[in-house]
Structure 1
Amino acid sequence: MLFRRLLFIALPPLIFLPEVQASIELSDKIALGGFGSTAISQSDNRTPLFISREITDETCYDCDTIFGLQLDIDVFDSLSASGQVVKRTQDDWSDPELEWAYLSYEYDDFEVRAGRLRIPLFLVSEYYYVGQAYPWIRPPQEVYDSLLGFTFYDGLSLAWNYDVSDELLLTISPYYGFDRLNEVEIAGSVLQFDTEYMAGIYVDLVGFNYRLHSGFMQVEYTQLPAVEKSTLDIYTVGAEYSYESWLWMAEVELDRLQANWYASVIYAFDDLSPYLTYAESHQLRKSKGVTVGVRYDVTSSISLNLEYQAILSQGEDNRAQFVTSPLVYNENSDVNLVSLAVSFVF
């Protein structure tokens, strides 16, 4: 079930955050869950900021709006099905995306999944759209925009879950995605990528108050209308560690086109959790960014975030975290962003 998985995946390291409420049990075998977030956001630059969000200097009330529903079914003891539909930031309400839909079969320490699955490269990939499950308004875009907003694949995965000790779980999971046409809209233009295949593996090591995650994915694709195929190898490493009221998180993403990383520290007392994040992008995107924010947990299922973000471009001729070069808008290459957000689960 989605939110039972969230409790296991997201909350052991985030021990100071409130527990996510369980989904609605429609029957002994069927559960329905939901989540969402929205924000009031405004920058001081006319150039659209962040892929799939495109925040500008005009106050935006729906650039960060997400709403999702998930249905989980226990078919029988070892076989289950799960489906998740999400109105993502780039979607109209009338045209949400089927983010995952798969069958899962468990046998001893192994789990096989087939269908539409989430790309498992990053620490918060499994719950990327569930803002209630992480401390920020948005996962650091320097790392999480490196895939141009692509979050799922159609294919197969195999996971081996091994209890190293009573407090340590090891997961090793190879996966394979079949041929698919992927599209993304950037600055008013639709980019098409004919993906021949994607294949990868991730390794997770989860302890009582820490998690280590590493991933590798190879993608063979053609960016249309070109005919020549390209191959891209993507490497990621992430870690999170909590001690008393402190949480530290960091991730690195590397491929032949770019190198991106961030480090974040969060401190929680009572219902308030202030946080500080520093991030950098190199090669394809060149920028340095600082995010300062605070999260307030209204209840165990509703939270508010107030966040200020400054992004400094390393050179005027690159797009940094914009969707296009600010030179197109005759704008400064640096940007400041303020956001007020609410997130919830049910």
Structure 2
Amino acid sequence: MATEQINIIQRNIMKKSLVTLALAAALPLSSAHAELTFNGFANIVAGKASNGDTQWGYDDDVDFKEDSLFALQTSADLGDGLSVTAQIIARGEDDWETDFEWAYLSYSLNDQTTVMVGRQRAPLFMYSEYLDVSYAMPWITVPEGLYATEFSSYDGVSVSHNFSLGEFESSIQVIGGAETTEMNIAGDDIDVDFNNMYGANLTLTRDWLTLHTAFLSAKVTVPNSRADGLGNAWLATPGFEFVADQITVEDDTMDFAEVGIQIDYNNWLVIAEYSRQNYETMTVDNEEAMYATIGYRFDDILVHATYGMVENDVNPVINQLPQATTESLAAQVDLTRQFLNFRMQDNTYYTIGARWDFHESAAFKVEFSAQDNELTNEDTSLVRTALVTVF
């Protein structure tokens, strides 16, 4: 990594450290003796797409920033079941600016039940808890198609409960909250609001078998002045007023569901997940994604292969737009198509890779990925290497 990038990381972490020290100084004297625990992780990733192509943020120049990151997590045990946890991450794709990924207060009601309040991870997938910790997974990054959701964290409350279900060690987590995330819609970067969010996930584990399922529902609002203006234009177009309801999104319902399985038996590893999102009147009617991974261990080396797909069904109102009879109507129809197509996808991809655990706290990974875009009939490929560690 370039010296300049390391200096940026150090400066940003120092700023956060000064904030932490200032907060610690402001704590009551009785809290100053809270037991602090620090740990972290780092991913140093280099990647290059095939000549003239772009894939998952990479182009045909070698890039060391897109998937590289450093993270530090600290927790303080305040006693009597109360603790605080915070995690800051500096990402290469964000020019190493540090952000709080987690910041929550947790209280253990008993040995089985814990309540958490604050900013925390949205438990949508099998690897949500380790979303950025490459060391904890076989791949360099989680499968792109399925895990590329609108948000991965939220502000709110959750209650988790551990219990036994037959021969399975089980856990259930119920969440509620809200999140605002930036999305690019028809060329505009828009802050999209997900409110009145509620959901739950269930994990069952027995020996070499893990099962996971989750669901989430939220109200979606997309504040967009261009969309509002376009909606008003359709309200003024006789016979096509209904198009306005599909362009403007306010308190529309989004439903999400996921199922997953992991088999880790002797030297074999099998992982598969499937998810589906449905929208009430969003420009994308629904989205389906899945992947399946199979791997085999040779001592401290794991080789693996993954197949995945993601497909969106575009809102059918796109097929009901009128023929452009005037220049202004043509512009109106064209902009509407941009809004309706902003997330249209029909991709399949595969990845083959290897992981070498050369150290008890570090691993080296290499992967080749290829993607087939059914909409553009374009094939792209990507080669990545990574040095990942936990500390």
**TM category, shorter:** 0.7 to 0.9
Question: Aligned partner of 2:256: which letter?
Answer: I
Partner of 1:242: 264
**TM-score normalised according to structure 2 size:** 0.72
TM superposition shift of 1:175:
0.5
Question: Aligned partner of 2:180: which letter?
Answer: L
Q: 1:142 aligns with which of 145, 150, 153?
A: 145
Cα deviation per residue 1:37-86 (whole Å; 9 max; x = unaligned)?
02110111545422xxx111121111111110000111114111110011
**TM-score normalised according to structure 1 size:** 0.81
Q: In 2, Cα distance between the equivalents of 1:118 and 1:44?
A: 34
Q: In 2, Cα distance between the equivalents of 1:130 and 1:176?
A: 25
Cα deviation per residue 1:97-155 (whole Å; 9 max; x = unaligned)?
2111111111232111000010100011001111100011111101011x14x210000
Partner of 1:79: 82
TM superposition shift of 1:190:
2.2
Partner of 1:123: 126
Partner of 2:211: 212
Structure 2: give runs of 5+ residues left out of the alignment: 1-32, 228-247, 279-285, 313-343
Q: 1:268 aligns with which of 297, 301, 306?
A: 297
TM superposition shift of 1:306:
0.9
TM superposition shift of 1:188:
7.8
Partner of 1:168: 168
Partner of 1:303: 363
Question: Aligned partner of 2:355: which letter?
Answer: R
Q: SS where residue 310 of structure 2 aligns? A: strand
Question: Is residue 240–residue 250 contact of structure 1 (8 Å, CA) maintained in 2?
Answer: yes
Cα deviation per residue 1:2-45 (whole Å; 9 max; x = unaligned)?
xxxxxxxxxxxxxxxxxxxxxxxxx9821100101021101115
Q: SS where residue 206 of structure 1 aligns? A: strand
Alignment of 1:24-173 (within 5 A): 29-44=35-50, 46-50=52-56, 54-93=57-96, 95-108=97-110, 109-145=112-148, 147-148=149-150, 150-164=151-165, 168-173=168-173
Q: In 2, Cα distance between the equivalents of 1:334 and 1:181?
A: 33
Q: Is the alpha carbon distance of 1:187 and 1:210 closer, same or farther for their aligned partners in structure 2, counting shifts above 3 Å?
A: farther
Q: In 1, Cα distance between the equivalents of 2:168 and 2:136?
A: 21
TM superposition shift of 1:96:
1.7
Q: In 1, Cα distance between the equivalents of 2:53 and 2:175?
A: 37
Structure 1: give runs of 5+ residues left out of the alignment: 1-26, 317-331
Question: Is residue 260–residue 280 contact of structure 1 (8 Å, CA) maintained in 2?
Answer: yes
Q: Is the alpha carbon distance of 1:314 and 1:253 closer, same or farther for their aligned partners in structure 2, counting shifts above 3 Å?
A: same
Q: SS where residue 298 of structure 1 aligns? A: strand
Alignment coverage as a number of residue pairs:
297
Partner of 2:331: none
Question: Aligned partner of 2:303: which letter?
Answer: P
Alignment of 1:306-345 (within 5 A): 306-316=366-376, 333-345=378-390
Question: Aligned partner of 2:157: which letter?
Answer: L
- What do you get for the CA RMSD once the two structures are aligned? 2.0
Q: SS where residue 298 of structure 2 aligns? A: coil
TM superposition shift of 1:315:
2.3
Question: Aligned partner of 1:338: which letter?
Answer: V
Q: Is the alpha carbon distance of 1:40 and 1:192 closer, same or farther for their aligned partners in structure 2, counting shifts above 3 Å?
A: same
TM superposition shift of 1:186:
8.5
Instruction: Pick the structure with greater CA Rg.
Output: 2
Q: SS where residue 146 of structure 2 aligns? A: helix
Partner of 1:222: 221
Q: SS where residue 135 of structure 1 aligns? A: coil
Higher normalized helix content (fraction of residues): 2
Question: Is residue 211–residue 241 contact of structure 1 (8 Å, CA) maintained in 2?
Answer: yes
Question: Aligned partner of 2:105: which letter?
Answer: L
Q: 2:310 aligns with which of 281, 286, 291?
A: 281
Partner of 1:181: 180
Q: SS where residue 334 of structure 1 aligns? A: strand
TM superposition shift of 1:199:
1.1
Question: Aligned partner of 1:295: which letter?
Answer: R
Q: SS where residue 145 of structure 2 aligns? A: helix
Identity %: 32
Question: Is residue 238–residue 251 contact of structure 1 (8 Å, CA) maintained in 2?
Answer: yes
TM superposition shift of 1:194:
2.0
TM superposition shift of 1:185:
6.0
Cα deviation per residue 1:184-205 (whole Å; 9 max; x = unaligned)?
4689852320222321111111
Q: In 1, Cα distance between the equivalents of 2:371 and 2:354?
A: 18
Question: Is residue 44–residue 67 contact of structure 2 (8 Å, CA) maintained in 1?
Answer: yes
Question: Is residue 91–residue 97 contact of structure 1 (8 Å, CA) maintained in 2?
Answer: no
Partner of 1:233: 255
Q: Is the alpha carbon distance of 1:82 and 1:301 closer, same or farther for their aligned partners in structure 2, counting shifts above 3 Å?
A: same
Question: Is residue 305–residue 350 contact of structure 2 (8 Å, CA) maintained in 1?
Answer: yes
